[in-house]
Chain A
Amino acid sequence: MRLGLVLAEVGSGLRRNASMVVSVVLVTFISLTFVGTAALLQMQINQMKGYWYDKAQVAVYLCTDTDTTGNCTGAKATQDQIDAVQQQLASPVLSPYVDRDYFESQDDAYSRFQEQFADSPATEFVQPEYLNETFWVNLKDPTQAEVLQESLSSLAGVQSVVDQRGYLDPIFDLLNAASYTAIGIAVLMLIAAVLLIATTIRLSAFSRRRELGIMRLVGASNTFIQTPFILEGVIAALVGSFLAGGAILAVVHFFVKGYLVVNFTGTPFIGLQEAAIVVPLVVLVGIVLAALSANVAIRRYLKV
């Protein structure tokens, strides 16, 4: 009986305010889509970080005949110096950090260079002796690269110790900036959505102020009076959040799985699993924000 009455009130409120309700739906839709996209982007960044950081190695470049940077004096690293580095890597100080390492001779480096830059004119000028002999080290924990840098970069015959993660940082910075932009837009849109919901509910309450006045007069409880309005806001926001959830799923399905995964096979991408976490979160955010703003908006009409 009472539930039926409340739902009837909700229905009439939604009908009476149709255009405002549509705008609430659209604004929550857009804002929550941004929220969801930003969340997915962050997940993507984390996933890529994990993947690439695991692959990233620390390179211990040794001196060549022409090198004068680092500890180099224009002379190629001697076999003793190479052995010293090798020993240092195997020593009890460093070995706990090292997963595996291998030595790349100048000829190995040359053939890899030829392969990597096959299309580049540089391959014609580069000779094996220009290239550094290198220890490639995979760390157990990629974030511990500094330990290697500290203990190896001072050794004679070592030109430099380079953490490859450094090359990835600009890419992640860019992705992070994109994700923060999305979050910023999302926050602005959410503020707009909250204000719009509050306005819609006020308008709805204003158009029903006679009923509200009589309800208060005859002693309808506050819960009973405010529930239809809160439900009204929540339903409008719910429709918007479901649309946003659908949009997020569509982005993951058609853009990520249908385009990115196909065209960038080397990179791991988020999938529907991540979307399954983000979508309920987005719907929850929509519901909670709508309920709160409607609650605040209606409170003025309940003052006794």
Chain B
Amino acid sequence: MIRFDEVTKVYSGNPRPALNAVTLEILKGEFVFLVGASGSGKSSFLRLVLKEEKPSKGQIHVLGQRLGTLSSRKVPYFRRNLGVVFQDFRLLPQKNVFDNVAFSLQVIGKSKGFIQEAVPDVLKMVGLVGKQHRLPHELSGGEQQRVAIARAIVNKPAVLLADEPTGNLDPSTSAGIMTLLERINASGTTVIMATHDAGIVDQMQRRVIELSAGNILRDERRAGYQTQAVPIQAIGVEDLSLRGEDL
């Protein structure tokens, strides 16, 4: 579904790579946490999957497409298979809930009939029944994130990318969002979520990929969030991954 082959990403003006020869594969239907300190390469990873950035070296395959050979004209059509959620929601402030979700369908040319059917469905799924005429500033943070999730999944994407979706939310609201993401994952959508929220990762016990300075520190199934109380450079990579098993 998503495969990184020795992918290196170097930003101009910074000799240290954001991702350093990363190789990994994410399968259909998986729920993956990307963890690591700020600047460890989580966002770069997500941007590379979205083809918002080009890798400096290496190959990326997403949904059977080799991103290196994808022409920029075809990128929009490729992105229709991906849903994205951000920490800051990125809703349109002057559009109400329904229109915010409908907007993403309108701009990819869906028919009015399809929109009238799909939007209420997805709003029901994310638990926003009866709030479709509210404006974003009239909603709580958790509700705004639900609108953003509804927008991301209304087109039934194969992959949902979430960049710290609970970063602005309190723990109980976050739990609600995680339940929602779990439900989306259960319906077959691959979910990749970058997060700093140790509680969520520990509780969910899903695949965890930990990045540090552009390298994969560990990649484990059914794992928890590892705090970084111990300086990483002081310990070998293998030691850390062992500690991951212990937690």
Interface residues of A (CB under 8 A from B): 1-2, 5, 210-211, 213-222, 224-225, 304
What distance in Å separates the Cβ of B175 from its nearest Cβ neighbour in chain A? 26
- A5: which of B75, B79, B90, B106 is its contact (CB, 8 Å)? B106
Of the candidate stretches B9-17, B107-115, B199-207, the one touching chain A is B107-115
Interface membership of B243, Cβ < 8 A = no
Interface residues on B, range: 20 to 34
- A216: which of B73, B76, B92, B112 is its contact (CB, 8 Å)? B76
Q: Is there contact, CB below 8 Å, between A1 and B51?
A: no
Majority secondary structure, A binding face: helix
Q: Can you pick out 20 interface pairs between chain A and chain B where the beta carbons lie within 8 Å of each other? A: A1-B109, A2-B106, A5-B106, A5-B107, A210-B92, A214-B104, A214-B151, A216-B79, A217-B50, A217-B90, A218-B79, A218-B151, A219-B79, A220-B76, A221-B76, A221-B77, A221-B108, A224-B107, A224-B109, A304-B51
Residue of B nearest to A9 (CB): B107
Q: CB-CB < 8 A to A211: which residues of B?
A: 92, 103
What distance in Å separates the Cβ of B53 from its nearest Cβ neighbour in chain A? 9
Q: Is there contact, CB below 8 Å, between A1 and B52?
A: no
What distance in Å separates the Cβ of A211 from its nearest Cβ neighbour in chain B? 6
Q: CB-CB < 8 A to B151: which residues of A?
A: 214, 218
Interface membership of B97, Cβ < 8 A = no
Bound state CA distance, A222 and B108, in angstroms? Answer: 10
Q: CB-CB < 8 A to A215: which residues of B?
A: 107
Interface membership of B131, Cβ < 8 A = no
Q: CB-CB < 8 A to A225: which residues of B?
A: 107
Bound state CA distance, A224 and B73, in angstroms? Answer: 12
With A210-B90, A211-B92, A222-B73: A304-B52 Cβ-Cβ less than 8 Å: yes
What distance in Å separates the Cβ of B89 from its nearest Cβ neighbour in chain A? 11
Q: Is there contact, CB below 8 Å, between A219 and B76?
A: yes
Bound state CA distance, A220 and B155, in angstroms? Answer: 12
Bound state CA distance, A209 and B200, in angstroms? Answer: 33
What distance in Å separates the Cβ of A187 from its nearest Cβ neighbour in chain B? 34
Q: CB-CB < 8 A to B69: which residues of A?
A: none
Bound state CA distance, A220 and B82, in angstroms? Answer: 12
What distance in Å separates the Cβ of A225 from its nearest Cβ neighbour in chain B? 8
Residue of A nearest to B107 (CB): A220
Residue of A nearest to B161 (CB): A217
Q: Is there contact, CB below 8 Å, between B90 and A218?
A: no
**Interface residues as binary, B66-91 with A (CB distance below 8 Å gives 1, 0 otherwise):** 00000011011111101010000010
